[in-house]
Structure 1
């Protein structure tokens, strides 16, 4: 069934061609922070424009939606926001040997919109002086133009619909540099790639560390540099920065507008008079008057707002979120903005009967050309399908008129699907539930960016986890199930870690005016790929080397990687821990049968656990049919893993290495054996991951300020052993935890979960707790206010606190 949209065009820039005088004013005025906004100090490094400058015709921008990569309106230049190097790059569109321009940003830049004569950039944080010094120690030197290296043109492999691609080749560590320099022809793949095993067949195992073909490279001798989260986090606020193009310097700063910390997403109205900026950690959306360079509205929204899409009338915007299923809708952009929530349940065709799915990773969203449909690539947590233990990457489509999902709910009778995939056994233990779709498309895992290609009515989606650019049909009710082409952006992978040697973790896409060329920024290898969509020819420009120590840089690539069988069953660490934070989801953990042996596993929903068949031994049938599933909320990682241990909700793992090894087992399907935890190369992978977690995965920025009187009162209550007595377990000196498991009064068992046998839970860290709702291991407390009000004497003692004291305690907790 096709969902057809009429072909009207996007508004052209008669609106974009705002008066030159207005743009000049925006570029020259020194903006002041909005009332109640951040403490960012506005500056201007641009020369004042001549008052006699004649108005010039404005060329329409390629897009008004922010991304980490943008094309100039004339298509001659590529702008890149590299937040890990805290730099902006200006490149020739042909990715030639012409030197790149490198502009040091005031903080980590996130998204760009390139107008004619004005380039807008969101900056996640303006760090304090000590935070800046700490960040520079982490990221290394600012890149230089001389550090950019071009890779020659290569033809990418395009996978047809029927293929489940493991394209690419494996390169031994000693040959990496030769291959990247074009001095070495890589071997063809030889079955090294993982695939789901057939029933009864042993799963592929990692080769032992002594194997010449798969051995880990030696530790590089670059010790990690663990940072102090309390220093690195310090922020004077987020920014929207306006730059004007300059022939000599590339970009020259014109103005700054202060917004809430962690400024990320960006959208501009068609008349270029207003912009919407999302501040992810702060949970705010700011509406900015670009002519006056000031914030006109700051709106509180749900957790982790990210992408911004503004309707053609310039009055309405939609915002996606990394956490939760709903979108935010802002109306009255041209007058008095207001924010409301719009429900968008993920993937109705994949939803098990009687269940509700969670969602995460909605980094981006995009309108159809006529504005009737809004596309949101993301993860549908708990979605059904063969092998979908955690869910599936999907593209949800909102009908903007009805504000409903266009896909029908799944019914028992229709539709039905079958598959002849060789690795799927007989029902009911291996097959999807009747009427459910087959397995999820791995090349869409961890969707990070999307654009609409009007000439073909398709969406291009960048997969952070699979290092792929995939084109899907936009005119269907379920675009993720109709893949037209997939481009492997790397072509070669490290034989040890299976991470991309180039084209790793694509995070941004831009289309040329004729829509025949796609530009992709790849964040873990710091490349820009230029792809001819008709021929598959591609070239790369390597912008800079990773500023982290080599070991931590490997860890960065492993963190996003969904290809490595040893790490997990089809998703990367960044799938559940985007930006090192959390997906806000409560998983089910239970002992599931793997070829008649029980192993601990996570599943999204109870419905994802398949039943037993006539060949299942009686002693394991009960466990397979109804295993006990306990709630486990995803914990935040960034800024919380400096200690050696213990880790786990029950403090069951004494070291971080043990916890990550346990994670390798938990994060895979019930039919898969885990990786070989005794192999030296797998321990090496963990070493690299730990280096990245402790010295490269930065915590969210939070404002530096004195505590208010209410917050000071809450701090005194927190520390008082005779009242709340919080600090006895949540020790401030050790990340607000003593890392000890205590027996606690059992909580009421939530529907869909089983009662906990072990009620001794480790004291969790309270650092950054304001942004990690819901709370408790089972997510039963939706807010901090709810947690404190209902706690009683279960943890410390809040039962005797007055309402004002409880409010003060909550206010202090939100500052941690």
Structure 2
């Protein structure tokens, strides 16, 4: 089975009541699942052989300055003598591949020691690797080898699920974002001693540092915002930049619904509507012009949740999701309004040239002045004008790629992009039509591909491989009529933090990974007795044509075996005691939590309950696994935090009014740990 795929599955309503969604709410201390951290021995991570092996990629800029790459990726370039090497992080195999870019031949591999997400090379040419499953970053240094091998130096603990890396412009600091741990940590680049850790909104991904080194900009897979962390302030203040799109709507009379009832109550006119944003996996810094952060994302029209919809989200054939590249000014933190503009036509599915609905990697070419983005689902590499105020409206070129392009590096000296396609296990060299690659382009070979080796004793089965591709397939009429993929609503197998308009009223997207097995029936109203029936309902509401039996089996195999987020680990004895006390309360007869959600909140009772105080509205009981990382809560996302859910639903779902503040803290800590 593939580890840590870049998304997740199904349609909008998979379980039921409290679970789902995703908000940018921060939990109490210890809620990030941070491991207890042993101090790193001084200089344990430092380089021992300073003049041996591969050297990090550097090349001349248009103004003559030599610059090196400081942003992390699943593909890192380096030189070894006359050879250009690509180090490729293989999440599925737990290895780092070393490939000669000129010959496109694999030289060697070495064990990453876990599931490698991004990598970055320090100024002294050590390779820092984020191990997603280990809550660690690991440091390798070049070995005295002609093939580009590396030897391990040390490993340092991080918050749960480190996913992205960058190095500060002065080369003194390595920064790492932790997705499930919602944190940004800074480490001394010399010996990897921790400098600080800042708590972030949920699901942080890509990170870059401003040119002056004072701010870190962080993308988020959900939440319609970018985080800015003040690196030089003692408190390392975190602020948010809104990344919502906006489009004007003609006035139109619609019928609105009360919050919990299906009856029509009044008529109002539509107003200009914002589009929320998600799929913020990657960031890049513009070089020409300087001072801009480029953020590929997707703008979403979830529909008017106060009215009845015939499907999920946008009505009248309008595209629910469109691609976008937000542009943020480094100096002011302001977003260029044009970069969030939504232009007509919006009707129907993706354009003929294809929307990038699942952007996963981004890099700039400072020679050409272009932004390159890899798109999972459409399996393509897109070149945008990085100097435009709205790059997504100035698409220059696109190239077809192997399935699942998740890693990208630009060799701007030779005019080529190096792309790692995780699903097909293929590394591609894409000619950009300049320098050493002009002959290939003229010969009709703009893309050269090589399949990389696999060491795993249990390779991914055909069904799982096919299911993963189906799950991420955008623009597929079998799934939806408007281009949405399963992964559009369930990035990384989780949720998009969005409450959608549906035929049943507002419904929030639930998390999938680790929650499907044993939790039937499905959908908030429990209408799907099994996953097959639920998928059929979902495809229908997305106006998709549906899958044949073989394809459906493959998709089911994949979504039921997706790797869940890492389990939380209490950071200290006090937190462990708090969680233990919370478990007692959860399973007590007085609180009545386990009576519906089962022991440990894992296997619910499969019964619909009135959880709103409105007898006409009953909802299936959800699993509570990983609920601490999936706010907001309830079928309509009305509760922004777990504390609000516990307190404001008292008497409708369990009982907490008898608890002291300390016991309420303990119950919340326990639920977060599930």
Which category describes the TM-score, using the shorter chain as reference length? 0.7 to 0.9
Q: Bigger CA drift: 260-269 or 568-577? A: 568-577
Secondary structure of the residue aligned to 2:502 is strand
How far, CA to CA, are the matches of 2:431 and 2:594 in structure 1? 59
The residue number in structure 2 matching 1:392 is 322
User: Are 1:95 and 1:530, in contact at CA under 8 Å, matched by a contact in 2?
Assistant: no
The residue number in structure 1 matching 2:636 is 778
* Cα distance change of structure 1 residues 682 and 811 upon mapping to structure 2, 3 Å threshold: same
The match for 2:516 among 641, 644, 657 is 641
The residue number in structure 2 matching 1:809 is 667
User: Do residues 340 (structure 1) and 234 (structure 2) align?
Assistant: no
How far, CA to CA, are the matches of 2:610 and 2:211 in structure 1? 56
Aligned counterparts, 1:212-231, within 5 A: none
Q: How many angstroms does 1:388 deviate by?
A: 4.0
User: Do residues 119 (structure 1) and 127 (structure 2) align?
Assistant: yes
* Cα distance change of structure 1 residues 54 and 547 upon mapping to structure 2, 3 Å threshold: closer
The residue number in structure 1 matching 2:97 is 89
Instruction: Output the aligned Cα RMSD.
Output: 3.2
TM-score (norm 1): 0.66
How far, CA to CA, are the matches of 1:639 and 1:746 in structure 2? 30
The match for 2:567 among 702, 721, 737 is 702
User: Are 1:398 and 1:404, in contact at CA under 8 Å, matched by a contact in 2?
Assistant: yes
User: Are 1:520 and 1:530, in contact at CA under 8 Å, matched by a contact in 2?
Assistant: yes
User: Are 1:101 and 1:250, in contact at CA under 8 Å, matched by a contact in 2?
Assistant: yes
How far, CA to CA, are the matches of 1:246 and 1:55 in structure 2? 6
The match for 1:718 among 576, 586, 595 is 586
User: Are 2:519 and 2:622, in contact at CA under 8 Å, matched by a contact in 1?
Assistant: no
Q: Bigger CA drift: 386-395 or 402-411? A: 402-411
The residue number in structure 1 matching 2:137 is 239
Structure 1: unaligned runs, 5 residues or longer? 1-35, 127-236, 420-429, 490-502, 591-628, 669-673, 748-756
User: Are 2:340 and 2:390, in contact at CA under 8 Å, matched by a contact in 1?
Assistant: no
The residue number in structure 1 matching 2:557 is 691
The residue number in structure 2 matching 1:254 is 153
Structure 2: unaligned runs, 5 residues or longer? 1-33, 59-66, 251-270, 303-313, 434-440
How far, CA to CA, are the matches of 1:286 and 1:410 in structure 2? 29
Secondary structure of the residue aligned to 1:584 is coil
Q: Deviations over 1:588-626 (max 9, x none)?
A: 112xxxxxxxxxxxxxxxxxxxxxxxxxxxxxxxxxxxx
The residue number in structure 2 matching 1:541 is 450
User: Do residues 65 (structure 1) and 71 (structure 2) align?
Assistant: yes
User: Are 2:136 and 2:158, in contact at CA under 8 Å, matched by a contact in 1?
Assistant: yes
Q: How many angstroms does 1:564 deviate by?
A: 2.5
The match for 1:579 among 460, 467, 492 is 492
User: Do residues 513 (structure 1) and 412 (structure 2) align?
Assistant: yes
The residue number in structure 1 matching 2:186 is 287
The match for 2:389 among 459, 466, 477 is 477
The structure with more radius of gyration: 1
Q: Bigger CA drift: 240-249 or 318-327? A: 240-249
* Cα distance change of structure 1 residues 103 and 279 upon mapping to structure 2, 3 Å threshold: same
The match for 2:174 among 258, 262, 275 is 275
Secondary structure of the residue aligned to 2:597 is coil
How far, CA to CA, are the matches of 1:440 and 1:812 in structure 2? 49
Aligned counterparts, 1:18-417, within 5 A: 38-39=36-37, 49=48, 60=58, 62-72=68-78, 76-97=84-105, 99-115=106-122, 116-126=124-134, 237-247=135-145, 250-333=149-232, 336=234, 338-348=236-246, 353-369=271-287, 370-382=289-301, 387-408=317-338
* Cα distance change of structure 1 residues 517 and 480 upon mapping to structure 2, 3 Å threshold: same
How far, CA to CA, are the matches of 1:463 and 1:58 in structure 2? 26
The residue number in structure 2 matching 1:762 is 620
User: Are 1:274 and 1:290, in contact at CA under 8 Å, matched by a contact in 2?
Assistant: yes
User: Are 2:228 and 2:241, in contact at CA under 8 Å, matched by a contact in 1?
Assistant: no
Task: Decide which structure has greater strand share.
Answer: 2
Q: Deviations over 1:647-682 (max 9, x none)?
A: 1101100011111122212234xxxxx31x5xxx62
The residue number in structure 2 matching 1:745 is 612
* Cα distance change of structure 1 residues 351 and 320 upon mapping to structure 2, 3 Å threshold: farther
TM-score (norm 2): 0.79
* Cα distance change of structure 1 residues 547 and 734 upon mapping to structure 2, 3 Å threshold: farther
How far, CA to CA, are the matches of 1:393 and 1:109 in structure 2? 27
* Cα distance change of structure 1 residues 530 and 62 upon mapping to structure 2, 3 Å threshold: farther
How far, CA to CA, are the matches of 1:444 and 1:459 in structure 2? 13
* Cα distance change of structure 1 residues 40 and 666 upon mapping to structure 2, 3 Å threshold: farther
How far, CA to CA, are the matches of 2:610 and 2:653 in structure 1? 10
* Cα distance change of structure 1 residues 87 and 337 upon mapping to structure 2, 3 Å threshold: farther
How far, CA to CA, are the matches of 1:253 and 1:259 in structure 2? 18
User: Are 2:115 and 2:131, in contact at CA under 8 Å, matched by a contact in 1?
Assistant: yes
Secondary structure of the residue aligned to 1:574 is helix
User: Do residues 732 (structure 1) and 630 (structure 2) align?
Assistant: no
How far, CA to CA, are the matches of 1:124 and 1:654 in structure 2? 34
Q: How many angstroms does 1:572 deviate by?
A: 1.7
* Cα distance change of structure 1 residues 581 and 440 upon mapping to structure 2, 3 Å threshold: farther
Q: How many angstroms does 1:441 deviate by?
A: 6.1
Aligned counterparts, 1:422-571, within 5 A: 442-489=354-401, 503-514=402-413, 516-534=415-433, 535=441, 537-544=446-453, 547-569=459-481, 570-571=483-484
Q: Bigger CA drift: 637-646 or 294-303? A: 637-646
How far, CA to CA, are the matches of 2:339 and 2:213 in structure 1? 32
Q: How many angstroms does 1:742 deviate by?
A: 1.1
User: Are 1:455 and 1:515, in contact at CA under 8 Å, matched by a contact in 2?
Assistant: no
More relative contact order in 1 or in 2 (CA 8 Å, sep 6+)?
Answer: 2
User: Are 1:238 and 1:259, in contact at CA under 8 Å, matched by a contact in 2?
Assistant: yes
* Cα distance change of structure 1 residues 459 and 744 upon mapping to structure 2, 3 Å threshold: same
Q: Deviations over 1:394-451 (max 9, x none)?
A: 111112233222125999xxx986x6xxxxxxxxxx969xxxx996963412111111
Secondary structure of the residue aligned to 1:767 is coil
Q: Deviations over 1:195-254 (max 9, x none)?
A: xxxxxxxxxxxxxxxxxxxxxxxxxxxxxxxxxxxxxxxxxx332434334416711111
Secondary structure of the residue aligned to 2:237 is strand
The residue number in structure 2 matching 1:26 is none
Secondary structure of the residue aligned to 1:657 is helix
Q: How many angstroms does 1:514 deviate by?
A: 1.7
User: Are 1:638 and 1:699, in contact at CA under 8 Å, matched by a contact in 2?
Assistant: yes
How far, CA to CA, are the matches of 2:182 and 2:352 in structure 1? 31
* Cα distance change of structure 1 residues 783 and 683 upon mapping to structure 2, 3 Å threshold: same
Q: Deviations over 1:718-754 (max 9, x none)?
A: 0011x2110000102672422221123258xxxxxxx
How far, CA to CA, are the matches of 1:65 and 1:763 in structure 2? 43
How far, CA to CA, are the matches of 1:808 and 1:366 in structure 2? 41
Aligned length: 579
How far, CA to CA, are the matches of 1:562 and 1:408 in structure 2? 25
User: Are 2:225 and 2:244, in contact at CA under 8 Å, matched by a contact in 1?
Assistant: no
Q: Deviations over 1:131-168 (max 9, x none)?
A: xxxxxxxxxxxxxxxxxxxxxxxxxxxxxxxxxxxxxx
Secondary structure of the residue aligned to 1:103 is strand
User: Are 2:379 and 2:403, in contact at CA under 8 Å, matched by a contact in 1?
Assistant: yes
Q: How many angstroms does 1:282 deviate by?
A: 0.8
Q: How many angstroms does 1:45 deviate by?
A: 10
User: Are 1:388 and 1:439, in contact at CA under 8 Å, matched by a contact in 2?
Assistant: no
* Cα distance change of structure 1 residues 761 and 246 upon mapping to structure 2, 3 Å threshold: farther
User: Are 1:38 and 1:259, in contact at CA under 8 Å, matched by a contact in 2?
Assistant: no
Q: How many angstroms does 1:292 deviate by?
A: 2.9
